[in-house]
Amino acid sequence: MPISLPAREPVKAPAATHCPYCALQCGMNVAAGTGGTGAVEITPRLDVPANSGGLCQKGWTAGELLTGGARLTTPLLHGEPVGWDEALDFVADRIRALQAEHGPDGVAVFGGGGLTNEKAYLLGKFARVVLGTSQIDYNGRFCMSSAAAASNRAFGLDRGLPFPITDLAEAGAVLLAGGNMAETMPPFVRHLTEMRRRGGRLVVVDPRLTATARLADLHLQPTPGTDLALALGLLHLAVAEGHVDAAYVAGRTNGFEAVATSVAAWWPERVERVTGVPVAQMRLAVEILGAADRAVILTGRGAEQHAKGTDTVTAFINLALALGLPGRPGSGYGCVTGQGNGQGGREHGQKADQLPGYRKIDDPAAREHVAKVWGIDPAEIPGPGRSAYELLDALGTPSGPRALLLFGSNPVVSAPRAGHVTDRLRSLDLLVVSDLVLSETAALADVVLPTAQWAEEEGTMTNLEGRVLLRRRALDPPPGVRTDLEIIQGLAVRLGDGTGGPRGAGGFPAEARAVFDELRRASAGGTADYSGITYERIAAETGVFWPCPGTGHPGTPRPFLDGFATPDGRANFVPVEHRPPEEDADADYPLYLTTGRVLAHYQSGAQTRRIAALNAVVSEAFVEVHPDLAERLGVSAGQRLRVVSRRGETEGVARVNPAIRADTVFMPFHWAGANLLTNPALDPVSRMPEFKVCAVRLERVG
Ligand code: SF4
């Protein structure tokens, strides 16, 4: 139950830490305010290269939730405040009973890309070692998994940016496909503007003329769901117009011929017909990239959140490889990771198919290594489980889990086909949510566990560069609130074997440093090797890049300079083919819906919607439409519109804006509504849902 909190004093002031929100992980100092008000003062750090003194309005206001009245400060059991022992005993008893009836997979775990590395690691271990369940995945599957899958198959390694973010300023050209950093992570933009100040050129691919696209030298505005065709067309032109780096292709890659053959049919006029992007603009984009000594291709969610997201990113990587970019100083391909720990969260075992260190759960050597660290037999580690949407879709079904433990996620708002997901959550025998506020998902839970947040705990986060950063504790959590590590320990003690050994308290320390030391051993020798990283090193060096296999190792800011992480050290071209969206526009649903974020809010909005200054900027969902479409519908700005898809309907205020295509409408997904409409069609490789395009119709309300 939300209550107002007493003023709290800092543990020490100020603490040099990082923003709780996006993957840029801007450095900030946090101190208690003066006057005993309990307010928290935030100032940007100058020593963190990602933001070097900049913050966006989300970061500036992040302290409000530490002291505001929206915090949960006592466990809730069926909506009533209870003590911790009563809450955790209830959860443990119900899990025991449900697993006795339905087996280990009768209980599932769902994590988040905002959890620290320590939490993600301990959650994965808890699921496998204590619950014995294979049913664990996390909301990062909704975020970067297509880029991760494409990078793994091209480079043998998935690290968002395989170079420091400051390298961008050195580039002569940057092509950004499907990212809007001017709204999602504004301090990122300084690296692009510095690049342009030095003479570099920016090309942005986006169906909307976003704030980022307005900064570009060239904006390509394809029909939603056609980025893959566009990338094929760009490579076709690069080949045809002599921009392929033949020496690089011969010396550092495999498979170019097959890809060159596959794009031969994507001549520019055909691509224009499919994408709506004029041939002249495509030629100019290739000319800009081809003429630059150093160039970078970046993808964001706009290219990735599709049922063909892995292939779309692959097509952009193929283009980057043909131009000879990855693994050259100042050049490359990168994915702009979104969630705060989107990178680290996908490395240490909260994914259905993964063990710590970015190891595969079905790899016998990986199982043996991790089992040894965990003190169990490798055969006791369950196999792969369901991916995020498949897991949510199976909840409460005859063959699916009957209980869900959920940490750091709000799928009622953030999952595709959210109405159906909400029904599945309601059908459970037990839903347990650990959160700091009563989110839409927590409001459905049988048990809500109030958890500490970023400035109240220690831990590590890995930002979009693959730089491992230290989150420092600036003040104590409010009385009655526990950390996620303490909650996991409390459950492990109750559900483990009752000893101090690996299945009891001994295997689940609540101190972040102790968990990190174990994570270092578990990750040693893996793709994401953290074994040489310590809290002391991170503090002294303002972050350490993985892989870092040993305390004497300097870390790896640019992992591909000497070779790729493939068996033969060469990057792989992979042929891919365009296909239309899973749900194309038709007579009944004649428009495309695309979703995204606004400057003032973060992800499902569970935190930012509770911050007055951010809510004052945008307080409800809107529907962005082109003036031609508005005229056809007889709608003017400010009127309410109903948006209807095959999965549900929602309403929003019309914003009439020539910056969007006339066949497309845009809705932000920070409020329950947009994802009632979205299509859960999954990418066959990454299992990422098609958030970015579905077919809708608009109706005037009233
Ligand atoms: Fe920086 Fe992202 Fe936080 Fe904004 S939300 S201050 S860009 S880390």
Query: Can you give the pLDDT at residue 68?
Result: 74
* Lookup: tokens for 399: 């063959």
Query: Can you give the pLDDT at residue 386?
Result: 98
Kindly report the protein residue whose alpha carbon is nearest to atom 6 of ligand 1: 59
Mutate to test the pocket of ligand 1, among 51, 192, 339 (most ligand atoms within 8 A of CB): 51
Decide if 234 contacts 243 (C-beta within 8 A). no
Polymer length in residues for the chain: 702
21 C-alpha to center of ligand 1: Å?
6
20 C-alpha to center of ligand 1: Å?
8
**Best CA proximity match to 606, nearest among 486, 404, 441:** 441
* Omega prior to 10 cis, within 30 of 0: no
291 C-alpha to center of ligand 1: Å?
33
| Higher local confidence (pLDDT), 105 or 611 | 105
Closest atom of ligand 1 relative to the 24 alpha carbon: 8
Whether residue 38 has pLDDT greater than 90: no
* Lookup: tokens for 280: 């002249």
Summarize pLDDT for 473-484 with one digit per residue, the tens.
998 899 999 999
Query: Can you give the pLDDT at residue 198?
Result: 96
Closest atom of ligand 1 relative to the 50 alpha carbon: 1
CATH of 145-336, one of 3.40.228.10, 3.40.50.170, 3.40.50.1000, 1.10.10.60: 3.40.228.10
113 C-alpha to center of ligand 1: Å?
15
Ligand 1 lining (C-beta closer than 6 Å): 19, 21-22, 24-26, 51, 55-56, 58-59, 185-187
340 C-alpha to center of ligand 1: Å?
9
Summarize pLDDT for 121-160 with one digit per residue, the tens.
999 999 999 999 999 999 989 988 999 999 999 999 999 9
Closest atom of ligand 1 relative to the 62 alpha carbon: 3
Whether residue 598 has pLDDT greater than 90: no
Query: Which value, to the nearest 10 degrees, does the dihedral of the CA atoms of residues 161, 166, 169, 173 take?
Result: -10
Phi and psi torsions of 356, nearest 5°: -55, 150
234 C-alpha to center of ligand 1: Å?
32
* Domains 15-67 and 591-700 equal at CATH topology level: no
Decide if 191 contacts 169 (C-beta within 8 A). yes
Summarize pLDDT for 18-36 with one digit per residue, the tens.
999 999 999 999 987 655 5
561 C-alpha to center of ligand 1: Å?
29
Kindly report the protein residue whose alpha carbon is nearest to atom 1 of ligand 1: 26
Mutate to test the pocket of ligand 1, among 17, 18, 24 (most ligand atoms within 8 A of CB): 24
For the beta carbon of residue 588, count every other beta carbon within 10 angstroms: 10
Instruction: Give the distance, in angstroms, between the CA of residue 640 and the centroid of all CA atoms in the same chain.
Output: 31
Q: Is the pTM of this model over 0.75?
A: yes
Decide if 160 contacts 430 (C-beta within 8 A). no
Query: Can you give the pLDDT at residue 339?
Result: 87
Query: Can you give the pLDDT at residue 36?
Result: 52
Mutate to test the pocket of ligand 1, among 28, 61, 185, 192 (most ligand atoms within 8 A of CB): 185
CATH class of this structure's domain 591-700:
mainly beta
3-state secondary structure of 622: strand
CATH of domain 15-67: 2.20.25.90
Element (H, E) at 30: strand 27-32
Domain range annotation of the chain: 15-67, 145-336, 591-700
614 C-alpha to center of ligand 1: Å?
13
